[in-house]
A = this chain, B = another copy of it.
Amino acid sequence: MRNRKVPEVVVRRLAIYLRVLNEVDAAGDRYISSQELGERAGVTAAQVRKDLAMFGEFGKQGVGYQAGFLRDEIARILHADRTINFAIIGAGELGTALARYTLRRYENERGYPFRLAAIFDIDENKIGQKVFSVPISHVNTLPQKVKEERIKMALLTVPASAAQETVDLAAKAGLKALLNFAPTKITAPPGMRVHNADVSLDLHQLAFFI
């Protein structure tokens, strides 16, 4: 795909459009205009059309977009048309909570594509414990599990001090993308994509406007 040229912000909005379309009744004759989709997603109609235009032509002039069809197309674009296996590395407070949270959503939410396939930690006392049905494995079994379970990405919830080495290890094991919750800057090895989900940066950003 033309990945290199798609701005991150467009991908993020596609994910929002997908959510809106999942909420909408997508029966056969349900058409949605860029206007309506934009309103529900919180962006302009022009933006919606521009974003979609990056990937093809999905609408009919004078009518709009068939909701079910557009939903499926966007899901395909985002690779959300199939199960995506991911891991959580770091079974501390935050990692464990995110494990429960994502497992529950995978169970209960129609179309939620993200399946937690493994949890890793380094603490021997935690190894073998389960979060719901998913056991905590030692981080040195990561390469093996990644293969077995076809894991493609991970949430990183280790302490800041262990973040970079864990990233390098995850890259070696073949992971392609990583969502970093550790409050530290990490450098993505070639071939790996890292996003930051750093609560304290968000808090600072909010506090500025108080």
Q: What residues of chain A have their CB less than 8 Å away from a CB belonging to chain B? A: 3, 6, 8, 11-12, 14-16, 18-20, 40-42, 77-80, 84, 86, 93-94, 96-98, 100-102, 104-105, 112-114, 152-153, 155, 176-179, 183-185, 193, 195, 197, 199-210
Indicate whether A80 sits within 8 Å of B204 (C-beta atoms), given known contacts A40-B185, A97-B96. yes
How far does the alpha carbon of A208 sit from the alpha carbon of B179 in the complex, in Å?
Answer: 13
Is chain A's interface secondary structure helix, strand, loop, or mixed overall?
Answer: helix
- Residues in B with CB closer than 8 Å to A206 are 153, 177-179, 193, 195
- Residues in B with CB closer than 8 Å to A101 are 93-94, 199
- Tell me if B79 and A208 are in contact (CB < 8 A): yes
- Tell me if B209 and A193 are in contact (CB < 8 A): yes
- Known pairs A16-B201, A93-B104, A105-B200; list 11 more (Cβ under 8 Å): A11-B208, A15-B200, A42-B185, A79-B208, A79-B210, A152-B210, A153-B203, A153-B207, A179-B202, A195-B205, A197-B197
Q: Which of B77, B100, B155 contacts A208 (CB 8 A)?
A: B77
- Tell me if A3 and B208 are in contact (CB < 8 A): yes
- Tell me if A93 and B84 are in contact (CB < 8 A): no
Q: Whole-angstrom distance from the CB of A67 to the nearest CB of chain B?
A: 17
Indicate whether A84 sits within 8 Å of B197 (C-beta atoms), given known contacts A16-B185, A202-B179. no
- Residues in B with CB closer than 8 Å to A79 are 207-208, 210
How far does the alpha carbon of A197 sit from the alpha carbon of B19 in the complex, in Å?
Answer: 15
- Tell me if A94 and B98 are in contact (CB < 8 A): yes
- Residues in B with CB closer than 8 Å to A12 are 201, 204-205
- Residues in B with CB closer than 8 Å to A114 are 200, 203, 207
Q: Whole-angstrom distance from the CB of A90 to the nearest CB of chain B?
A: 12
- Tell me if A210 and B153 are in contact (CB < 8 A): yes
Q: Which of B98, B112, B202 contacts A195 (CB 8 A)?
A: B202
How far does the alpha carbon of A131 sit from the alpha carbon of B112 in the complex, in Å?
Answer: 30
